[in-house]
Chain A
Amino acid sequence: MTPEGIPRPAVEEELRSLLENGSEAVAVVSQPWSGRSRLLDTAADSFERVPTTISLEGPVAGSFSLPSDGPVIVERCQHLFQRRIGGFETVSALVEEISTREEPVVLGWNVFAWEYLTELTPLSNAFDRVYMIDPLDAEAAETLLTETLDVSDPENALAEAVDTELTEMADGERAVATTTLESTSDRLTRLRSAIRNRYRGSVVESHLEGLVSDAAGNPTAIYRLFQARTDPGIDELPNGFDFSYNEAYVLWLILAAGETTTAALRETTAEDVSLTVGRLERQGAIERTGDHVSVRPLAFGPVHSELSRRRLLW
Chain B
Amino acid sequence: MVSESAVGTVILVTEEVDVPPIGLDFPTITAAVLTFTIAYVLARLGAVVLSIASERTVRHRITIKTLVPLVRFTIYFIAVLVVFGLIFDLDSTQLVAFSGVLGAVLGLGIQDLFANIVGGVVLVFERPYHPGDMIEFGEYYGEVTDIGIRSTTLVTNDDDEISVPNYKLFTESLANANNGAAELMAVPELHLADEADVEAATTIVRDAMRSSPYLYASEDCPVVVRVNQQPAYITLRGRAYVNDVRHEFAFQSDVTERALAAFAEEGIETASVPVAVSAES
Residues of A within 8 A of B (CB): 83-88, 115-116, 119-120, 245-246, 249, 252, 270, 309-312, 314
Contact = CB atoms under 8 A, between A and B. Distances in A.
Contacts of B211: 83-85, 87-88
A207 B57 CA distance: 27
B217 A119 contact: yes
A212 B143 CA distance: 39
A270 B258 contact: yes
A85 B58 contact: no
A120 B204 CA distance: 15
Dominant SS among interface residues on chain A: loop
Contacts of A246: 213
Contact of A85 (B213, B218, B258): B258
Contacts of A116: 217
Of the four ranges (under 10, 10 to 19, 20 to 34, 35 or more), the interface on chain B belongs to 20 to 34
A250 to B, nearest CB: 9
A88 B207 CA distance: 8
Contacts of B58: 309-311
B44 interface: no
A314 B207 CA distance: 19
Given A120-B223, A311-B244, A85 B262 contact: yes
Given A85-B258, A309-B57, A312-B243, A120 B213 contact: no
B16 interface: no
Given A310-B58, A311-B58, A87 B207 contact: yes
B147 interface: no
Contacts of A309: 56-59
B219 interface: yes
Contacts, number: 49
B213 A249 contact: yes
A312 to B, nearest CB: 7
B212 to A, nearest CB: 9
Given A311-B59, A311-B182, A311-B216, A85 B259 contact: yes
Given A119-B218, A309-B56, A311-B216, 7 more contacts: A86-B204, A115-B217, A119-B219, A120-B210, A245-B213, A249-B213, A311-B182
B217 A85 contact: no
A14 B204 CA distance: 41
Nearest to A116: B217
Contacts of B210: 88, 120
Interface string B187-214: 0000000000000000010011011010
A84 B207 contact: yes
A88 B218 CA distance: 17
B216 A314 contact: yes
Contacts of A270: 258
Contacts of A83: 211
Interface in B39-61: 56-59
Interface string B52-73: 0000111100000000000000
Identify the interface centre among B204, B213, B218: most chain A CB within 10 Å of its CB: B213
B244 A86 contact: no
A120 B224 CA distance: 10
